Amino acid sequence: MTGTTTSPFGDLIYAYTRSDAIADGVLIPVPEETSREAGITWPVAVSSSLWSLVEPDNLEEMPGQSVQGRLWDLLWLFRCAIHSSRASSDRISYRIVFLMKTGNRIYDRTVTVIAHAGPGDMGEPVITLMLPEDD
């Protein structure tokens, strides 16, 4: 080690923060009020690929569906997964079914959601909900 670097790996060259991911649209923040209504006190963000299931381009073609309702289902099932989990880990997974439409076909799409609890940009606890391929 030389100079004033305190890390054995050297100086930090680049960091991609949670704020950067939100600004780039890679993560979509969940409104704090919505999270709190679902009983979640830490800030929550959803990966853009999972968000595309919450708010698909053709949502208005699916009767009885709304972004708010689909988001509520995602958060409520996350809360249920927390309460039913016996593992002490920074991540859990659960399944959710989204109503989808392709052409004239309406169908159920079941996906696995990974919920990860970790530090935010300032070390505060945050939650990220994502699909397995987003991890």
Tens digits of residue pLDDT in 69-126:
999 999 999 999 999 988 788 999 999 999 999 999 999 999 999 999 999 999 999 9
Band of pLDDT at residue 14, cut at 50, 70 and 90:
confident
Q: For residue 51, give Cα distances in angstroms to 47, 76, 130.
A: 6, 15, 9
Band of pLDDT at residue 4, cut at 50, 70 and 90:
low
0.75 exceeded by pTM: yes
Place of tokens 């299931």: 53
Closest of 51, 34, 135, 44 to residue 98, by C-alpha: 51
103: left (phi over 0), alpha (psi -120 to 50) or beta: left
What pLDDT sits at residue 1?
A: 45
Q: Is the pLDDT of residue 57 over 80?
A: yes
Residue 29, exposed/middle/buried by CB under 10 A (0-12, 13-18, 19+)? middle
Q: Encoding tokens for residue 87?
A: 């593992």
Q: Encoding tokens for residue 105?
A: 């076909």
